[in-house]
Amino acid sequence: MKDIEVRVIDNDVEKAMRILKKKIQNDGLFKRLKLKKNYEKPSEYRRRKMREALRRERLAAARAAKYRRR
């Protein structure tokens, strides 16, 4: 786990909070916490992993198609 650090400049806590939230979202911490909140059956786990893999494949195919057009 990497350290997430945000500096508060000129006592602008609101801006620092927005930056922190964005960094946490990009790191995937919110998603991991949400998944660990409740028990996930093994069949649901496999189904979720399959959906995530298919999504990654679709994104990769879309990126490849974008670069082939150029």
CA distance 12 to 6: 11
CA distance 21 to 14: 11
Q: What residue spans define the domains of the chain?
A: 1-38, 39-70
CA distance 25 to 31: 8
Helix (H) or strand (E) holding 59: helix 42-69
Q: What is the pLDDT of residues 5-20, one digit of tens each?
A: 899 999 999 999 999 9
Backbone CA torsion sign across 53, 55, 59, 62 = positive
pLDDT along the chain (70 residues), means of 10: 84 94 90 90 96 96 86
